[in-house]
């Protein structure tokens, strides 16, 4: 079964310094048809104005992933971590028993554009932890590059959940297949560009829920970038 989640149907929030689109119910936006997808609870596409951001706030028992699309995202947390993330960087913070952090646009002149992703952990009240890695564009060209996994295999960041996340950049006539094992489902989020997934035409901001299927097929006639989540059903 295939279910389209159109970009234009997502929740929206605007605070002057922040413009955000919510794929799933979040904050003041609630839609009973879109309250997560398995353990995938949040995909927020955030655009933050120069020198602005999210002040120090807390989280608990959540796997939080940041995927920067453009600009520079500055991170600080109560574990003592501090860094500036740019395109290709993937950050994972396991909140566990509790962590406080801030996320700011590092630039004084340019916006920052990133995805904030929350995955529910399968272990509660673990010790908070942090990890970040860089995945260059070449490693994603024409293939699904594993960037998040339960065991950190293939150089991915690790999460406390039976979930794997793949990133891909498709150019022109690329055709990519991903097998879904029994009991697995997929959520494919289109970051930008246009492509077809299992014959369904999608563009930037759109997504496709894939259930009770054995194969996810991505084909492109022009440039596109996607994230594919392989999740327990």
118 falls in which pLDDT band (50, 70, 90)? very high
**Per the confidence metrics, is the pTM higher than 0.75?**
yes
Whole-angstrom CA distances from 191 to 110, 114, 123, 218 are 20, 10, 29, 14
Residue 140 φ/ψ, nearest 5 degrees:
-105, -10
As beta bridge partners, residue 169 has: 141, 225
pLDDT, tens only, 20-59 = 999 999 999 999 999 999 999 999 999 999 999 999 999 9
**Per-residue confidence at 222, pLDDT binned at 50, 70, 90?**
confident
| pLDDT digits 0-9 by tens, 51-101 | 999 999 999 999 999 999 999 999 999 999 999 999 999 999 999 999 999
| Domains detected in the chain | 2-232 (2.60.120.10)
pLDDT at 173: 84
Q: How many residues does the chain have?
A: 233
């Amino acid at each position: 079964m295939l279910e389209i989640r159109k970009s234009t149907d997502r929740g929206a929030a605007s605070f002057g310094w922040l413009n955000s689109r919510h794929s799933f119910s979040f904050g003041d936006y609630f839609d009973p048809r879109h309250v997560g997808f398995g353990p995938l609870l949040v995909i927020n596409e955030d655009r933050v104005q120069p020198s602005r951001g999210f002040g120090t706030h807390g989280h608990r028992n959540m796997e939080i992933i940041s995927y920067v699309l453009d600009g520079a995202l500055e991170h600080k947390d109560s574990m003592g971590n501090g860094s500036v993330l740019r395109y290709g960087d993937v950050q994972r913070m396991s909140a566990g028993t509790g962590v406080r952090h801030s996320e700011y646009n590092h630039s004084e002149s340019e916006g920052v554009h990133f995805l904030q992703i929350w995955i529910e952990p399968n272990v509660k009240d673990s010790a908070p932890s942090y990890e970040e890695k860089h995945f260059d564009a070449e490693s994603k060209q024409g293939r699904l590059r594993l960037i998040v996994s339960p065991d950190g295999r293939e150089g991915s960041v690790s999460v406390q959940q039976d979930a794997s996340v793949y990133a891909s950049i498709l150019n022109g006539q690329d055709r990519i297949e991903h097998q879904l094992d029994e009991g697995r489902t997929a959520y494919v989020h289109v970051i930008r560009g246009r492509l077809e997934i299992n014959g369904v035409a999608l563009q930037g901001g759109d997504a496709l829920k894939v259930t009770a299927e054995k194969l996810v097929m991505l084909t492109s006639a022009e440039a596109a970038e996607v994230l594919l989540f392989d999740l327990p059903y």
